[in-house]
Amino acid sequence: MIMTFYGAGSKCGVTMLCQSLAECLAEEHTEKKILLLNLSGSCGTQYSSTTFSYHLDDLRIKLSSKVLSVDELIGACAVSNNLYTLQGTQSLIERRKYQPEDVKTLFELARTTFDYVLVDGGSSVDFALNIGALLYADRNVLITSQNKGNLREYLQKNSQVLKQLQISFSKLIINRFYIAHFLPNEQELAKQYQIEHSTVVDYSSYSLQAENEGRTLVKMDKQYSQDVERLSKELFASPDDKKRKKKRKGIMRFWRKG
């Protein structure tokens, strides 16, 4: 399963949420191999405590020549137990040299080794890395907030680029969600973005502290941790999990009728 997380705007918290989900998923499924790919157009590792020796640019030539091996991909990743992380591009020049097909090749390699691949797809439509991440993933998830600027930016990108490439999203995540009479609720945002399935991750007062300290909110905010854990189960539930959940719902409906 390869899932790309993409931001409606540039300040939706994609990198933080993607890193948090990867860590949560790795802890929940210790028997699985998890890969976190940073294809946002930047390094994307500002919230990771892992030490990195390599980054995506070290693989670019072999990737574009289609001679990159699985062992070389794994060797370029920083490893923490069953979580593998590939640091994104570090060069403003190099990031313009990639093609969408490079991402396709990277994904094909990842499928042979990893059980779950989470992709930080950034929020841009200007780079091939972003577009490739959306074109070749199994599922795309859109992340936004209640900021109107994000909606305006997304609608422009969607009408001019994403829709033309037949890129769509299976779920909407409203990040940093805050209940107030002057802010849109979940249902209103889902309607505005025209995405049927939606969920929220609550606002955390520890956000600035986490950003300044360079770590995720998972160990800092209990509510955020619970939201991420719930989201992980929603997004990456196995077919058996879904069947059990459906069965439980059926039983509950039966008893309610009784």
Q: Chain-wide mean pLDDT for the chain? A: 91
Q: For residue 5, is pLDDT > 90? A: yes
Query: pLDDT-based confidence at 206, cuts 50/70/90?
Result: very high
Query: pLDDT-based confidence at 238, cuts 50/70/90?
Result: low
Q: What is the pTM of this model?
A: 0.90
**Cβ pair 119, 84 in contact under 8 A:** no
What pLDDT, in 10s, does the model give residues 89-123? 988 898 899 999 999 999 999 999 999 999 999 99
The set of residues, in sequence order, having a beta carbon less than 8 Å from that of 169 and lying 6+ positions away, is: 6, 140, 141, 142, 195
* Average pLDDT rounded to a whole number, residues 171-194: 96
**Strand 83-86 versus strand 78-80 pairing type:** antiparallel
Give the type of residue at 61. Answer: I
Residue ranges covered by each domain of the chain: 2-257
* Average pLDDT rounded to a whole number, residues 78-93: 93
Query: pLDDT-based confidence at 245, cuts 50/70/90?
Result: low
Nearest alpha-carbon partner for 12 in 200, 140, 192, 163: 200
Where does 20-170 show beta strands of DSSP type E?
34-38, 78-80, 83-86, 116-120, 139-144
Q: For residue 255, is pLDDT > 50? A: no
Q: What secondary structure letter does DSSP report for 81?
A: T
For 207, counting Cβ atoms within 10 Å of its Cβ (0-12 exposed, 13-18 middle, 19+ buried), the class is middle
- Top-level class of domain 2-257: alpha beta
* Average pLDDT rounded to a whole number, residues 5-25: 94
For the ranges 2-6, 193-197, 234-238, which has the lowest average pLDDT? 234-238
